[in-house]
Amino acid sequence: MKYLLTDEHTERLNFRLVTIEDFELWLPLFEEEHVAKFLGIDQNLSPFEQCEFWFKKVFHRYDNGLGGMNALIDKNTGEFIGQCGLLVQTVDEEERLEIGYSICPKHWKKGYALEAAMKCKDYCFEHEFTDNLMSMMHIDNIGSELVARRNGMTFEKQIKSFYVFSISKAQWENQKR
C-alpha cells in the first residue's frame, strides 16, 4: 500500500493503519465546532455521520491505492492521538500528493500534527514519491496553516475556500543542510 507510513515512528508517535475499532476514539473530533467545515464535510450531518463519512474515505483510499491517513499512537501510553498521512489528491485537474493531518481535540496544541507532518514530508521525499508536496486547509483553519508553515511549506494558491501550501524536494534538501 504505497504512500502509507505503517510501522513508521517519530520521537513520540507510532504510525499504523486506521481500523474500524478507532471509530469511537475519532468521534470527538466531529463534535468540535468548525471541524466539519475545515475538513470539507457536510456540516448538516450529525457528528456520528461525519465520522462515518471520514472512515469511508479512509478505507476507500486504502482499497484504491490513494495513500491514506495513518493512526497516530503515543509510544509511551498507547493512546490514540489522531491521524496523519500522504494522500493522493486532484487539485486543478492535476494529481498531487498531500500531507493530511488531524489530531484529537484533547491533544491539540502539543506539537503532534507538526511532528507527524514532518515525518510524512521526510518519508515522501526520501522514497522519491514526488518532487512537490502540498497541504491544503480551509482558509479559517489557522492551526493547520501554522503546521504547514512550520513544516517548511509556503503559500502556493487559494482554491475556493482552501489554501494550498507546498514544498519542493529541492527546498526540502536545502532545509536539511
pLDDT digits (tens, 9 = 90+) for 63-117: 999 999 999 999 999 999 999 999 999 999 999 999 999 999 999 999 999 999 9
Phi, psi angle pair for 126, to nearest 5°: -65, -30
Q: Is the pLDDT confidence value at 1 over 80? A: no
pLDDT digits (tens, 9 = 90+) for 117-160: 999 999 999 999 999 999 999 999 999 999 999 999 999 999 99
The pTM (predicted TM-score) of the whole model is 0.96
The pLDDT, as a whole number, for residue 65 is: 95
The pLDDT, as a whole number, for residue 8 is: 98
Contact 83, 69 (CB under 8 A): yes
Residue carrying the nine cell digits 484533547: 106
The dihedral of CA 132, 137, 141, 144: what is its sign? negative
Q: Is the pLDDT confidence value at 177 over 90? A: no
From start to end of 30-148, where are the E strands?
Answer: 67-74, 80-91, 94-103, 132-138
Show the domains of the chain with their CATH numbers.
13-176 (3.40.630.30)
pLDDT digits (tens, 9 = 90+) for 23-44: 999 999 999 999 999 999 999 9
Contact 30, 50 (CB under 8 A): yes
What distance in Å separates the CA atoms of residue 105 and residue 55, rounded to the nearest whole number?
Answer: 18
Band of the pLDDT at 176, cuts 50, 70, 90?
confident
The pLDDT, as a whole number, for residue 2 is: 87
The DSSP secondary-structure symbol of 45 reads S
Cell of 85: 498521512
